[in-house]
Structures are given as structure tokens and as C-alpha cells.
Chain A
Amino acid sequence: MKKRNLYSLLVVLASILIFVTACGQEEKEVLNILNYDIYIDKSLLNQFEIENNVTIKYDTYSTPEEMYIKAKAGASNYDLIISSEYMIERMINEGMVNKLNFENIPNYNFIGEEFKNQPYDPNNEYAVPYFWGTLGILYNKNTVDVSSKSWEILWDKNHDQRIIMMDSQRDSFAAALRLLGYSLNTVNEQELDEAKELLLKQKPLVMAYITDGAPDIMINEEADMALVWSGEAVSAMEENENLDFVIPKEGSNIWIDAMFIPATTKNQTLSEKFIDFLCSKESTLRNIDEVWYSTVHTDAIKEVDEELLNNEAFNIPAEDINNMEMFRDPKEFIDLYSSRWTEVMAQEAN
């Protein structure tokens, strides 16, 4: 009796095993995608899978630095990556990016001219813009006075333990460097050290350093303000009308996230097809509804509803843009950014 039990257990396990492995072994083409967390309408993945009879393996990361390490490690074969311009610039310089065949991406024509010929890809050979946006402060109108319109708000002692910062080195330094009046691409060690001191001074006031989690905390009014990317601000403002977004007068960062095909790809044509798919008007509109960032699509923007167009975190005013800088690859100076940021994070809080 006992023995029979054991055998039946084994049979059950074996059949589950066979079932499980059988499920995974449908011979389909595979597309390995690496993207920021919460940065696509996932039903688009399903749709592309069905329409093209392929399997998409979708992986996420939270900061460009993390993506770079993942792609660089050599033990990965991503077919398509979506990331920020300065990291793409670095990877292009290091020969990690394939040139695109734009004949396979007819929808590229819908990308606004102002997003093309940017310094990270000056001849439009390697990357296709995905979304763009800026960095600013999401705040609660009832508790925060932003009349100064300055980055200094993030250093306001009245909001002790009510400030959320990002655990992302370039973005946190951007705020500090611009407050000091320096370029957010500085390669001057002294300027970077000043910014580090400023961030250290802010640390006792900070509630938490989180990437991606700020909107949720702000919607629940558990903090007064947060350093966020513009789309995060829009998503939070959609849920809680007490929230608003300000781009400080000292200037901020304007960024473009783009899709590119890393040299590790095994399926360039399929990846290009996917890029084209994401550049279609329909995909773009669905993505806007999910991620709330500003679109690069010249046709899609016409169909965005009035309310969203009136939101300055989505439709970023031209006078603010004039005062913005795009991140550039600081080359070997990147190690200094990393180590200074590690020092900020390593400092004891209280």
C-alpha cells in the first residue's frame, strides 16, 4: 500500500513535469525585450505575439545603469531594448548597438522631426524615439507652497520626512546640479562634489529613496512631494486632484527614451517589425493611456484628449523646454557619478 502511494506520487510528478516542459517547448520565434518597468501597455505584447505567431520574453529594469550592466554582462541576448538617450549614446560608442534598416520601419515617418538628429544618435542610424519627458517635482497643492518654483523646495525643512527622492544617480544629481547653477552633464569633479554635499544635506529630510514607487505614495498622500519623471506625475494627477507638477525655474532635464537593437540580437528583422508596431498610431495611443508620458508621434498627439493636453506635465510648455538640458554620456566620468551617488546612499540617515 505504502509503496503504491510512493509510485503514484512519482507518476503524478512526472506527468506534471512532462506537461510543464511541453508547455514551454512550442517552437516559435522568440523576441527578447528589455524595457523600463511599467513602460508599455502589456496587451500590446499579447497582440504582437498573436499577430506574428512569436513568443515575447519581456524583462524589465528600473534605471539605465542597471540596463547597461545587464546588456553588457555578455550572458544575455536581448533583441530589443528601450532605454534613455545617454545610455544609448554610451552603448553606440562601445559598439553594442546595431544599425537599423529603416525600410522595415515605415512608421518612423510619424516621429516628430524635433526628436530626430539628437546628439546621442546624430545621423538617425541606431535608435527610434519612444517617449519623451522631463524631470520635476510632483507635489500636494494643499501642503506645499511652490511659488518659488525652485529646486530648493526639495530642501525645505518644513517637509521633513515628507520628501521622496529617486534612487537614480543621474536624476538625483540633475536636481542638485541645476540648483547650483551647473550643467547636469558636468564633468567637473568639484561641481559634482558640491552637488553631493547638497544631496547629503538633504538626506535627513528625505522620507525614502525609491524608483517607480513615488506616484503610489503621493496618490495616498503619504508624502508631500516627490522627484519624478513627468509621466509619473501625470499618472498620479489622474488619480488624485490635489496633486500638481512643477518644473523648477533653474531648469531641468529633457529626455528621450528610444528603442534600439543591441548587437546580441538573433532576429534583427523581427525586432524592427516590433519597433514599427510600437510606432503605429494605435499602439502609441494605447501606450499613452498606460504610461502617460509625452508622445513623439505626430499623428497620435492630435487624438489625445483635451484634458491631457492641458496638463503641463504631458504637454510641457515651450518656455520650460528652452531651459532644459539633455543627458549626455559622461564617458569615463560615469564612475565618478556612481561613486558619489554611492557615497550619498551610504551616508547614515538619522
Chain B
Amino acid sequence: MVKKYLSRIYMAIIFIFLYSPIIVLAIYSFNESKSRGNWTGFSFKWYLELFQDRDIKMALYYTVSIALISAIISTILGTAAAIGINSMKGKIKSIILNINYLPVVNPDIVTGIALMILYISLNIKLGFNTMLISHIIFNTPYVILSILPKLRQLDTHMTEAAMDLGATPMYALRKVIIPEIKPGIITGFLMAFTLSIDDFIISYFTKGEGVTNLSIVIYSMARRGVRPTINALSTIMLTVVLLLMIIVNNRSNAIEKSK
């Protein structure tokens, strides 16, 4: 009994540690006063100011569009690659898997500077395109890694049976393989989307004229000190992430239950 209480208290402390900074941030976004020392009253003024800030509006636009486009492209690229890699064998397969793993294990800063060097060496103009390509680069390995386990579970007899019954390989792919690995594809997509929204370091090194994302804006604002507008922005972003996570979590729970 005592042990149960102890573990409850322990978890409570961990969660206080994990969540109190976020909650404090959110609370102060409604503080009327600019200084964080004192509470002078409830207000939405920092939210209004936030929506008038052209840097933030631009950054939001770029963040969302890059996240969407890069998630879609890396999901398509990654799904095809995963299906291909799955049917490979031996050394080549493990080499490809290891190279695919490189952006995952490499520190972001190294990936970032390597891509910056690449673009500048090839004389590619830094901007929206380079940031988009970079996001596809670091997203795709995660998509592949989330689809591969599903492919391994796939019953090969089913595909064979379908083809025996006259299905073309393409038809079998569309009707048998894709539906079976769909959970992996969707997880991969959502993961790519979230990773892209969150990325700072790689975007920081590969951005170009006037193209920023929210992380970069937060970084340059945070360097100037504590601003209530960042608090407001945080609160909004936290709410979005929370909603997204709850959806994902419900999905995976539902899948687990249906098994």
C-alpha cells in the first residue's frame, strides 16, 4: 500500500516537472502585463498582437505548407522505398538500410551543415525549395522505418494467392499490400508532419531569403528575451499538438483493440 502511494507521488512529481513549465507559459500568455513578474489581469491582447505580426504569419504559412508538402512527398517516396527495400535481400539491403538510418542517427546540426554545403556547392538558391527538400530528407527515413515492420508482418501468401487468381502485380499491390500496411503509412505520414513542424536546426541552416518557420521565429524572439507573444504562440502550438496526439493515440488504441 505504502509502495503504491510512493509510486503515485513519484509519478506526480515527474509530471509536475514535465508540465509545469508548459502550464506557466500558457498562463502567462493571458497576462495583461508585459513583465513576467506580476499578474495584472486577464487579457487576449498578446494573441491579437500575435496575429498582426507579419513575421509570425509568414512563418506559420511556411511551416504548415512545408510540413504538408514534405509529409506527403516523403510518405509516397518512403512507401515505395519500403516496399522495394522489403523485397531486397542480403548485403545491398543492409547497406541501404544503414544509409537510410544516417539522417536518423546523425546529429541534426551535422545534417544541417552538410545540406547547406551541398546546396551552396551546387549553387542551388537557398529558400523555400531547399527547406522543403531538407525536410523530405529527414522525414523519409522515419516513414520507411514505420512501414517496414508492417511489411515484414505481411502474409506473402496473400499476394501470391491474389496473383494466382489473376491479379496483376500492380492490382495486388493496390488491393492487398497497401491496405495491409496502411496503419504504417498513416503513422509515417503523421510522424513526418510533426517532425517537420518541429524542426529547427536543419531549417536554420538551409533557409533562405525571407523563408522561415515558426521555430526560427521563436528562436530569434527568444534570443531577445521573454515575450508574451511567444507565450501566446506556444499555447496555440501546444493545443494543436495536443489535439493531434490525442487523435493519433485514439487511432492506435483502436487498432490495438481491433487486433
Which one, B119-127, B135-143, B237-245, is touching chain A?
B119-127
A95 at the interface (CB under 8 A from B): no
* Contact pattern, A 258-287, Cβ under 8 Å of B = 1, otherwise 0: 000000000000000000000000000000
Q: Find residues 60-110 in chain A having any chain B CB closer than 8 Å to their own CB.
A: 60, 62, 73-78
Main secondary structure of the interface of A (DSSP, over half): mixed
Q: Residues of A contacting B98 with CB < 8 Å?
A: none
State the Cβ distance, A72 to closest chain B Cβ, in Å.
Answer: 10
* Contact pattern, A 23-50, Cβ under 8 Å of B = 1, otherwise 0: 1100000001110011000100110000
Max chain A Cβ within 10 angstroms of own Cβ: one of B55, B69, B123, B224 = B224
Q: Using a Cβ–Cβ cut-off of 8 Å, how many residues does chain A contribute to the interface with B? A: 38
Which one, B78-86, B150-158, B195-203, B204-212, is touching chain A?
B204-212
Q: Is the CB of B68 within 8 A of A13?
A: yes
Among A42, A75, A76, A212, the residue within 8 A (CB) of B54 is A42
Q: How many A-B residue pairs have CB under 8 A?
A: 82
Q: Residues of A contacting B130 with CB < 8 Å?
A: 75
Q: How far is the CA of A210 from the CA of B35 in the complex (A)?
A: 19
A213 at the interface (CB under 8 A from B): yes
Q: Residues of A contacting B61 with CB < 8 Å?
A: 20, 23-24
Q: How far is the CA of A211 from the CA of B65 in the complex (A)?
A: 31
B220 at the interface (CB under 8 A from A): yes
Q: Is the CB of B65 within 8 A of A24?
A: yes
Given contacts A20-B61, A46-B54, A76-B125, contact A37 B220 (CB under 8 A): yes
B166 at the interface (CB under 8 A from A): no
Q: Given A37-B220, A213-B223, list of 5 further CB < 8 A pairs?
A: A20-B61, A20-B64, A24-B61, A73-B126, A216-B226
Offer 20 A-B interface pairs, CB within 8 angstroms, sorted by A. Answer: A3-B179, A13-B68, A13-B72, A16-B68, A20-B68, A24-B128, A32-B210, A60-B220, A62-B220, A62-B223, A73-B126, A74-B120, A76-B125, A76-B208, A76-B209, A213-B225, A216-B224, A216-B225, A219-B35, A220-B36
